[in-house]
Amino acid sequence: MNPSLAAKILQAGRDSGADFVELFEEETRSSVLTYKDKGVESANAGTDFGVGVRLLFGTEVLYAYTSDDSEESLLRLVRQLGFGREKFGSGSGKSGIIQAPSQPRLVSDLWSHMKDPRVLGQGHKLDFLKLGDSVARACSDRITQVSVSIIDAVSAIEIINSEGLAVRDERARTRFHLGVTAGQGNERISASEAPGFGGGYEVLDHLDVTALAKRAAERALRILEAPYIEGGQMPVVMGNGFGGVIFHEACGHPLETESVRRKASPFCGKIGEKIAHESVTAIDDGTMSGLWGSLSVDDEGLPVQRTVLIENGILKTFLSDRVGAMEVGVPRSGSGRRESYKYSPVSRMRNTFIAQGKDSLEDMIASVEDGLYAGKMGGGSVNPATGEFNFAVEEGYRIRKGKLAETVRGATLIGKGHEILPRISMVGTDFETAAGMCGATSGSIPVTVGQPSLKVDKILVGGRS
């Protein structure tokens, strides 16, 4: 956005009495190619474009967005937002002259090494998709369907605020998804692999499509033959990588200031207290190069950081955005995120994981008399206000007398996050990460979850009696 137009919008916001005004402009170019049913099912591309304007009156947030970036449209929205604010009133009501914005400063360096999806086009994806399809189908004639897709997005954003910040960021993400359906008689089972990365098509150069396709197909075939688990309370060893989704959902969300400021977290007021077993150290790190949830700056323009949330079981801090930091009284952590210009930013996770421990997976399994090894987790969700969570186990194995036994299906883990943390008694050495999409107040954003294998002494496993 041209700085003089930005200055007019920011000044109009301040003239309405706002303490702080921010502009977020985004243009995202995305494309997806999907190969299914032994052919290209669809080819699609799109351009998302718009501007978001945020006014803060104290910690009261007023947000507007539009796809129309004309001066007339933006000024009208700002004036509508600010009109009559004193009636609801947390704002200072003091007008002020903004610091004139400079030309936005570029904070990322994508182009030195990126294979630009916009230049290479959809055709670059085709061989990867065909390979995934053929490898998965070759695993068994019981593979009834394979769907392989690659989605990429390249975003140019500008963030300009009334405090003089003016940054420009360029972000690229690419994700491979392979879904397999295995069938036998009338029965159908699906399994998938979906690695995602920060970057353009160069990330595909290192992608082991053959291994991913085999892994998904073989898992679907194993589950197809597996019996249902008999449910009940039992010790659970959670697999590495996507097993971290449990920490993300059950503990990560309640550690965001967006939950804490609404007093909707069991961790309110517990900084400095022991909230987990001493073997647990948990980190949210937005700086890890090439990961799906990494950023140069957050969506408020602040450089991202490595934030230690729990250290040896002690709660150290929360993940915070500007408003959350003000309300909760913690430093900003560069965690203000949003799906697009259509959302006001709030505190969100980036790459969240439980740090590597000292135990081997073999020792964890050997320590369980009768339990479950949740090798591959499915998705899940949590209510931060009550702590109640639920997660599907995509592939599990019974553990009997310290040894892995039969594959089981249909397991669901349910409980409360703050009650599970103290029950993590062993943390492994096999740390891994996995990509996912996280949905919350400010939309659906790319995040990484991660953990080494770990043992929870007791958790309710749903199944069939």
**Alpha carbon distance 443, 420 (integer Å):** 27
356 binds other proteins, rule: CB under 8 A: no
Of 27, 116, 363, 430, the residue at the interface with other proteins (CB under 8 A) is 27
Cβ density class 262-290: b for 16+ within 10 Å, e for less: eebbbbeebbeeebbbebbbbbbbbbbee
164 binds other proteins, rule: CB under 8 A: no
Closest contact distance (angstroms) between CB of 216 and other proteins is 13
Which positions from 132 through 161 interact with other proteins, judged by CB under 8 A? 144-145
Of 381, 400, 403, 429, the residue at the interface with other proteins (CB under 8 A) is 381
462 binds other proteins, rule: CB under 8 A: yes
390 binds other proteins, rule: CB under 8 A: yes
Task: Return the number of the residue (50 or 422) whose C-beta is nearest other proteins.
Answer: 50
- Which span sits near other proteins by CB under 8 A: 97-105, 130-138, 294-302, 373-381? 373-381
The 75-114 contact track toward other proteins, x by CB under 8 A, reads --x--xx-xx--xxxx------------------------
392 binds other proteins, rule: CB under 8 A: yes
Do 347 and 318 form a contact (C-beta atoms < 8 A)?
Answer: yes
Closest contact distance (angstroms) between CB of 223 and other proteins is 9
Of 4, 211, 228, 278, the residue at the interface with other proteins (CB under 8 A) is 228
Pairing verdict, β 20-36 and 39-57? antiparallel
The dihedral of CA 411, 412, 415, 419: what is its sign? Answer: positive
Which positions from 34 through 73 interact with other proteins, judged by CB under 8 A? 36-37, 39-50, 59-68, 73
**Alpha carbon distance 131, 135 (integer Å):** 6
Three-state SS string over 401-463 comes to CCEEEEEEECCEEEEEHHHHHHHEEEEECCCEEEEEEEEECCEEEEEEEEECCEEEEEEEEEC
- Extract the tokens encoding 370: 């009768």
- Which span sits near other proteins by CB under 8 A: 96-104, 106-114, 162-170, 230-238? 230-238
**Alpha carbon distance 98, 100 (integer Å):** 6
Task: Return the number of the residue (48 or 163) whose C-beta is nearest other proteins.
Answer: 48
181 binds other proteins, rule: CB under 8 A: yes
- Which span sits near other proteins by CB under 8 A: 31-39, 100-108, 207-215, 302-310? 31-39
Closest contact distance (angstroms) between CB of 440 and other proteins is 12
Q: Write out the DSSP string of 341-367.
A: TTS--EE--SEEEEPP-SB-HHHHHHT
Beta-carbon contacts of residue 167 (< 8 Å; ≥ 6 apart): 104, 105, 106, 107, 158, 159, 160, 297, 301
Q: Write out the DSSP string of 274-290.
A: B-S-TT--EEEETT-TT
Of 183, 195, 402, 422, the residue at the interface with other proteins (CB under 8 A) is 183
190 binds other proteins, rule: CB under 8 A: yes
Q: What angle do CA 407, 412, 413 make, to 5 degrees?
A: 115
The 278-317 contact track toward other proteins, x by CB under 8 A, reads ----------------------------------------
Task: Return the number of the residue (38 or 105) whose C-beta is nearest other proteins.
Answer: 38
Closest contact distance (angstroms) between CB of 359 and other proteins is 27
The CA-to-CA distance between both ends of the chain, in Å, stands at 61
**Alpha carbon distance 230, 103 (integer Å):** 63
Task: Return the number of the residue (140 or 356) whose C-beta is nearest other proteins.
Answer: 140
Please identify which residue in the block is written with the tokens 């230690």: 308
379 binds other proteins, rule: CB under 8 A: yes
Task: Return the number of the residue (14 or 85) whose C-beta is nearest other proteins.
Answer: 85
Distance of CA 233 to the CA centre of its chain: 29
Of 7, 75, 106, 126, the residue at the interface with other proteins (CB under 8 A) is 126
Closest contact distance (angstroms) between CB of 456 and other proteins is 15
Please work out the total of residues on this chain that contact other proteins, with binding judged by CB under 8 A.
84
Do 237 and 357 form a contact (C-beta atoms < 8 A)?
Answer: no
Task: Return the number of the residue (263 or 401) whose C-beta is nearest other proteins.
Answer: 263
Of 115, 270, 342, 458, the residue at the interface with other proteins (CB under 8 A) is 342
Which of 241, 239, 264, 244 is CA-nearest to residue 254? Answer: 264
Task: Return the number of the residue (41 or 278) whose C-beta is nearest other proteins.
Answer: 41
Which positions from 415 through 454 interact with other proteins, judged by CB under 8 A? 415
Of 107, 131, 156, 264, the residue at the interface with other proteins (CB under 8 A) is 264
Backbone angles phi, psi at 15, to 5 degrees: -65, -25
**Alpha carbon distance 87, 64 (integer Å):** 19
